[in-house]
Structure 1
Amino acid sequence: MLFKRSLAARRALLLAGTASAVLVSALHVSPARAAEDEITPVRIPELIVNAPREDEGSSERVIVGDVSGPPARDAGELISRIPGVSAGRLGGHGSDISIRGMSEDRIAVISDGAYVFGGCPNRMDPPASSMMPMSGDSIAVRRGYQSVLDGPPAPAGTVSLERADSADFGEGLSGNVEAGVESNGFQRYSSMQARAVENGSYIRGFLTGRRANNYEDGDGREVRSAFEQYGGGGEVGLRYGSNSLLSLSAEENRAVDVYFAGAGMDAPWTATDTYRLAVEHNFAEPGVLKGFEASVYGSFVDHVMDNYSLRTPGMMTMRTDATSDTKGARFAGNFAFGTMDVTLGADYRRNDRDAVSYSSMMAAIPPTTISNYTWPGMEIEDAGVFLETKAPLSKMTGITAGIRTDFISVKAAKADLLPGGMGAVSARTLYGTFYGVTDTDREETNVSGLVRITHDFGGFSGWLGASRAVRTADATERGIARAPAMGGGGWVGNPGLDPEKHHQVDLGVETVRTAWKTSASIWYDNVQDFISRDIARGQSGVLVNDGVSSIFRNVDAELAGIDLAAEWAFAPSWHLGGNIAYVYGENTTDGRPLYQIPPLSGEVELVYDVSEWSAGTRLRWAARQSRVDDSAATGSGLDVRETPAYAVIDIFGTWQLAERVRVQGGVANILDATYASHLNKANGFDPAVVQVNEPGRSAYLQVSFDF
């Protein structure tokens, strides 16, 4: 069965289905776009969703220059506005996205072809937050495992910052300057990008800066959320031959003095530098081999967090210095065998994460005693080979199929180093104490694949996909090493973890008509060896039973969900739209809900749009999340609570002031509601508030100039 046979599950599914049916019947609508793409067709006020028909799979595309709502505090917050994507927050900056009920390294984050991993063990800097949207032209979100070409499998999906072909902008100089301000927290930002194109070759540059104070929730409570972010970079591209391209890009991103209400530390400094060299070669007279592509890249993250730079420390000062360096390469050939297109290639990715924690009982600043090698020099290498084909089975039916094999090698270079202080133990000793495993070297061979069929039924289109995605344990799950201290619990990774095996199926239909469009999809993911964070209670394979330490172990799990969207142009210049998403997650080994699963949620919007201006209103809502894993006594305790339902109303508008000048503005949360996303962390800074709340009422204004 698709869902576990429990009364709670049946009720949840019934609720989701009923709500979805009500929305669709109310709007009289059906899917947008084409059979070959599972693309949610809703136009969102904050974003313009514009996914092309070809070669995109199940995706959304956010056109960066068309942002029209409250200034997103980072790319993660912007992406979370797409239907089916949620996010949790520790503060104002650092939104951690979730797709299909999964987050962290189950989502691949790619910035212009370069993989990025955060540098904070506590995820103050999730990789999506380090992307600068204005450094690219669009952000693509592919839900689920849709292609073997994206690198090592990410079962939840892929988020990719992409840059448009220079030919799309024409010859000469062009660009954009944008600035905005938001009242709640006094967020202000500006950005610029410019490009010069000649004979297809180009040079482009970009700069951006953003700063915000602490915002207030709907009850007027100040939420610790201030931050500053700035950065820039450039790219040079040489067009040659038969529309072939050689490009070199580099960018720097800095997040400074980032405050967190949901953490015991703040982040005074995070630096992310990314570099990439790539070639796309197309043969002038292609035969079986049409062309090839090759690239090398590096992304380097330097992160500092402490409890004294931006707040008054208690009896102990603490600091962690962490780095996350990723290097990679990719080569692929593009072949044509009649009507079949084939991509065959190989890729390589190595991620090195190192974190050293310091503390001082005497509240010395800065602390100098090494308390833990929190990431003890974790080295994870992945060499993969892949093949993906696309072919028509008939005039109305197409198929995509792919397979890849990943060869994994893992080491913990600092597993034997001893921290300072009395009773200090090495990471290797911790692993042995908690799991009876002391060998930190690991080799894996993981095989993943997919098949996807699309069909045009005439009046509507549909798709059916099945995939197997195998994900190896990441540096935290496998190797984090924080020893128990002062009666508190430790946080210890498990070198003996087996890789996750996700077996997903998804089914969907969509249709588009002159005045309306809808889409509906359902998916199911059976996971063997799901890597679950838990509390040490002497479970199978866990030797410690202290009831407080965080550990990792393999369990079996099920996830499933539905996504619906609709839009109806019911009168000239008017449209009504909406979307609903629901995710169900179950730890089937322990018989309890999976943690951090977003509740049933959605949006409904009404917009009036004419040539020079538009205005509208939107209702954002979420049901109460009662399926939680919030007990540290019997579960993981990773859910803060049964998060209450909420409904928030926004108003917004756009005015084309001149041919190249656009003004956007509005008021978010106009009724000043107090609410929190279920994925938000506990507010450890304000004992009067359970979770980190979302912002209360906030007016905003943005001005954009194209040249």
Structure 2
Amino acid sequence: MTVTAPEASPLTVVTNLKTPRQPVPASDGSDYLKTIPGFSQIRNGGTNGDPVFRGMFGSRLRILTNNSDMPGACPARMDAPSSYISPENFDVLTLVKGPETVLWGPGNSAGTLRFDRLPPQFDKPGIKGSVSLLAASSRRYDENADVSLGSEKGYIRLTGNKSRSSDYQDGNGDRVPSRWDKWNADVAVGWTPDKDTLLELTAGKGDGEARYAGRGMDGSQFKRESLGMRFEKSSIGDVFDKFEASAYYNYANHIMDNYSLRSPSGPSMGGMGPMDMGSSLGMASMDMPDASSMHMSGPMAMQLDRRTVGGRMMGTWLWQGVQLQSGADMQLNTHRSKKNRGWVKDARFHDYGVFSELTWYATTQNKVIGGARLDRAIVDNEASNGKDSRSDTLPAGFVRIEHTLLDIPLMMYAGVGYTERFPDYWELFSPTYGPGGSASAFDNVKTEKTTQLDIGAQYSGERFTGWVSAWLGRVNDYILFRYDSANVYISQADNVNAMTMGGETGFSYQLTDHWKTDASLAYSWAENTADNKPLPQIPPLEARLGLNWESGNWSSGGLMRLVSSQHRIAENEGNVVGKDFERSSGFAIFSANVTYKATQNVKLSAGIDNLFDTAYSEHLNLAGNSAFGYSANTPVNEPGRTWWVKANVTF
């Protein structure tokens, strides 16, 4: 059982997404990420939280699926990119911390996340795959299937899942509005004429609904459509070794309303049907953070969509002791809202980038990696009368040294990176005002510039493995949201300077042939140096302690999660999803699991999360909505004692 995330190196985390985990298997990408040290999420109920890494949120953390990008459509990120991801439909998760790579798009100051499906391998015609069933508290049921048919010359892979749950109860026994129902289905067709060539076509769909204790509206539609193509050719020549190219189309169609999954507060407006929220400027803020005091005047709905088209190509060249990866990528996405029964375009984003990353194996002990990229970003404000446009050229680069000792199995690294991030849709179009109270965030929010030092070390012994990674960053023109304390619907996007620092560390130790222990610790600290106050939305110190036992076909594990209080807050400041509204208390949560391998292909597992039924809430949280009986600035509690059982069959 995985209780803390495995590490490929202190800088890069690689996780097998098919491996069982605790707590209860994830309902979306963000839920899975919180098992990796340094990750947290802005919570608002049961599912579709927004991931935060090292206290950094939004487009500072790029999330890719099979090399494709899928930004959501909601102006308050109800449909964050991670909400469209079912982790068990993918094979491998790779995280690169900080601005320490340039291969995967611009502005990735916090890190780069990639959810990937690997092409199935066949040495003879056949079928392989896995099927799993999950049942848990709160009438949660999940079904997952991943089946591949193929031979040496090609394959067809089908993946699908369905996940649903009712409202959960917190540790006090109170019901928390949090139910969801979602599904995804994808197909991949691959042609492999030889072991060095791959051509793959993919298509997928998904949809769902979710209600939120911490929002003024619920998500009644999360429709996804995806198309993709990739080509890879390896072992081309002595120097030019590999060429890869991919293209994708992703479409998100999102509806939020206050009547499908809850009863709207107040009378309807003269017996009329649902009000078109998009018909009035400012109505988008109805789902902004801390809407606990909101009283809607009747049924309301808002429909938005976003089409994203992109692609990349990259070549790999090899010389003696040197590897060069170089290429180009692009993305075009268009955002619309439905008004008066018709679609109206409000934003159009373009990005064109070139990049190169070079690895020099200087000696058997030393490796030097460096990279640079240059992007041209253009955005059109289609909603303005004059159709404003703005553009910028964004540089990025890094250099890192990795050193391995000969006498002991210890690797150390130090790297410095710089990246410039163009403001995203939510920072340009969601705020009421721009910096200094200016009338337009679109015209006045500056690009964000991050310079960061990353250092780390990893020891890999026979019984003991330990790692540590740390960072120190300077962010010029950090994009910060300020909220009006008297009117929650009024927000201002501002630029401030910031200092960030912190780190993660962990170890695992094989106590005996049957017992193993592991632990991790993560801490983030950030300061708004322009105002000499804390930066908002920074998670507190968190530790995880695990103990695992394995013998024959049986294994079991226990997990203790310890989270400190957080007193460093910036009241009424945050991001487009959440803001700091009160200090938070610390808590300790205990969980346990057991697994039985019935046959070589059948595995049964069960677990209990929050064993002692503790009532607690996360620091990164939305205030509960008054429509569900929450008073102002009351955080949403997490689930109480939760049991789950899972059966997994591989073939």
Task: Tell me, yes or no, whether TM beats 0.5.
Answer: yes
Secondary structure at the residue paired with 1:494? Answer: helix
Which whole-Å CA distance do the structure 1 matches of 2:455 and 2:131 have between them? Answer: 42
Q: CA deviation at 1:483?
A: 9.3
RMSD (Å) for aligned C-alpha atoms: 2.6
List aligned pairs for 1:298-697, cutoff 5 A: 298-313=249-264, 314=266, 315-356=297-338, 377-416=346-385, 440-458=388-406, 459=408, 460-480=410-430, 493-535=441-483, 549-631=490-572, 638-684=579-625, 685-687=628-630, 690-697=634-641
Which whole-Å CA distance do the structure 1 matches of 2:531 and 2:602 have between them? Answer: 57
Aligned partners of 2:2 and 2:20 also within 8 Å: no
**1:84-128 deviation per Cα after TM superposition (whole angstroms, max 9, x unaligned):** 111122121102111111111111111111111112111211111
Q: Residue 272 of structure 1 aligns with which residue?
A: 224
Structure-2 change in CA distance of 1:670 and 1:490 (3 Å): farther
Q: CA deviation at 1:548?
A: 7.0
Which whole-Å CA distance do the structure 1 matches of 2:124 and 2:45 have between them? Answer: 41
Which whole-Å CA distance do the structure 1 matches of 2:466 and 2:589 have between them? Answer: 24
Structure-2 change in CA distance of 1:224 and 1:270 (3 Å): same
- Structure 1: tracts of 5 or more residues without a match: 1-42, 358-367, 417-427, 429-438, 538-544
| TM-score relative to the length of structure 1 | 0.82
Aligned partners of 1:390 and 1:399 also within 8 Å: yes
**Residue 383 of structure 1 aligns to which amino acid in structure 2?**
Y
Q: Residue 260 of structure 1 aligns with which residue?
A: 212
Q: CA deviation at 1:482?
A: 5.8
**1:597-616 deviation per Cα after TM superposition (whole angstroms, max 9, x unaligned):** 00000100111112311112
Q: CA deviation at 1:146?
A: 2.2
- 136-145 or 267-276: which moved more? 136-145
Q: Residue 650 of structure 2 aligns with which residue?
A: 706
Which whole-Å CA distance do the structure 1 matches of 2:494 and 2:76 have between them? Answer: 18
Residue 65 of structure 1 pairs with residue 18 of structure 2: yes
Secondary structure at the residue paired with 1:670? Answer: coil
Aligned partners of 1:481 and 1:491 also within 8 Å: no
Which whole-Å CA distance do the structure 2 matches of 1:527 and 1:272 have between them? Answer: 34
Aligned partners of 1:640 and 1:691 also within 8 Å: no
Which whole-Å CA distance do the structure 2 matches of 1:263 and 1:483 have between them? Answer: 22
Residue 209 of structure 1 pairs with residue 145 of structure 2: no
Aligned partners of 2:152 and 2:192 also within 8 Å: yes
Aligned partners of 2:123 and 2:152 also within 8 Å: no
Which whole-Å CA distance do the structure 2 matches of 1:95 and 1:546 have between them? Answer: 24
Residue 147 of structure 1 pairs with residue 98 of structure 2: no
Aligned partners of 1:490 and 1:549 also within 8 Å: no
Structure-2 change in CA distance of 1:331 and 1:188 (3 Å): same
**Residue 465 of structure 1 aligns to which amino acid in structure 2?**
G
Which whole-Å CA distance do the structure 2 matches of 1:255 and 1:58 have between them? Answer: 35
What is the aligned counterpart of 1:190 among 133, 143, 152? 143
Q: Residue 239 of structure 2 aligns with which residue?
A: 288
Q: CA deviation at 1:479?
A: 2.0
Q: CA deviation at 1:135?
A: 2.4
- 273-282 or 641-650: which moved more? 273-282
Structure-2 change in CA distance of 1:592 and 1:277 (3 Å): same
Structure-2 change in CA distance of 1:466 and 1:342 (3 Å): same
Q: CA deviation at 1:71?
A: 2.4
- 136-145 or 299-308: which moved more? 136-145
**Residue 394 of structure 2 aligns to which amino acid in structure 1?**
N
Aligned partners of 2:431 and 2:492 also within 8 Å: no
Secondary structure at the residue paired with 1:477? Answer: helix
Structure-2 change in CA distance of 1:44 and 1:602 (3 Å): farther
- Structure 2: tracts of 5 or more residues without a match: 267-296
**Residue 291 of structure 1 aligns to which amino acid in structure 2?**
K
Aligned partners of 1:60 and 1:141 also within 8 Å: yes
Aligned partners of 1:71 and 1:181 also within 8 Å: no
Which whole-Å CA distance do the structure 1 matches of 2:611 and 2:502 have between them? Answer: 31
Q: CA deviation at 1:444?
A: 0.3
Structure-2 change in CA distance of 1:377 and 1:391 (3 Å): same
Which whole-Å CA distance do the structure 2 matches of 1:547 and 1:295 have between them? Answer: 43
Structure-2 change in CA distance of 1:71 and 1:283 (3 Å): closer
Q: CA deviation at 1:168?
A: 7.7
Which whole-Å CA distance do the structure 1 matches of 2:59 and 2:376 have between them? Answer: 18
Secondary structure at the residue paired with 1:76? Answer: helix
Residue 244 of structure 1 pairs with residue 197 of structure 2: yes
Identity among equivalent positions (%) equals 27
**Residue 261 of structure 2 aligns to which amino acid in structure 1?**
L
Aligned partners of 2:369 and 2:399 also within 8 Å: yes
Structure-2 change in CA distance of 1:168 and 1:78 (3 Å): farther
**Residue 140 of structure 2 aligns to which amino acid in structure 1?**
Q
Residue 179 of structure 1 pairs with residue 133 of structure 2: yes
Which whole-Å CA distance do the structure 2 matches of 1:271 and 1:588 have between them? Answer: 41
Structure-2 change in CA distance of 1:68 and 1:443 (3 Å): closer
Which whole-Å CA distance do the structure 2 matches of 1:632 and 1:294 have between them? Answer: 41
**Residue 136 of structure 2 aligns to which amino acid in structure 1?**
E
Q: Residue 225 of structure 1 aligns with which residue?
A: 178
Which whole-Å CA distance do the structure 2 matches of 1:455 and 1:686 have between them? Answer: 57
| Aligned pairs, number | 610
Which whole-Å CA distance do the structure 2 matches of 1:516 and 1:376 have between them? Answer: 56
Which whole-Å CA distance do the structure 2 matches of 1:642 and 1:506 have between them? Answer: 29
Q: Residue 7 of structure 1 aligns with which residue?
A: none
**1:538-560 deviation per Cα after TM superposition (whole angstroms, max 9, x unaligned):** xxxxxxx9997201121101111
| TM-score relative to the length of structure 2 | 0.89
Q: CA deviation at 1:692?
A: 1.4
**Residue 199 of structure 1 aligns to which amino acid in structure 2?**
E
Aligned partners of 2:433 and 2:493 also within 8 Å: no
Which whole-Å CA distance do the structure 2 matches of 1:164 and 1:67 have between them? Answer: 18
Q: CA deviation at 1:283?
A: 4.5
Which whole-Å CA distance do the structure 2 matches of 1:72 and 1:667 have between them? Answer: 14
Aligned partners of 1:166 and 1:201 also within 8 Å: no
List aligned pairs for 1:78-117, cutoff 5 A: 78-117=32-71
Q: CA deviation at 1:493?
A: 3.4
Q: Residue 21 of structure 1 aligns with which residue?
A: none
Which whole-Å CA distance do the structure 2 matches of 1:243 and 1:452 have between them? Answer: 30
**1:29-71 deviation per Cα after TM superposition (whole angstroms, max 9, x unaligned):** xxxxxxxxxxxxxx733x7x45557xxx822223122124312
**1:333-386 deviation per Cα after TM superposition (whole angstroms, max 9, x unaligned):** 1112322111111100112222357xxxxxxxxxx699xx9x961111110011
Structure-2 change in CA distance of 1:480 and 1:200 (3 Å): same
**Residue 308 of structure 1 aligns to which amino acid in structure 2?**
Y
Which whole-Å CA distance do the structure 2 matches of 1:492 and 1:219 have between them? Answer: 45
Secondary structure at the residue paired with 2:73? Answer: coil
Aligned partners of 2:578 and 2:622 also within 8 Å: no
Which whole-Å CA distance do the structure 1 matches of 2:84 and 2:440 have between them? Answer: 27
Aligned partners of 2:103 and 2:357 also within 8 Å: yes
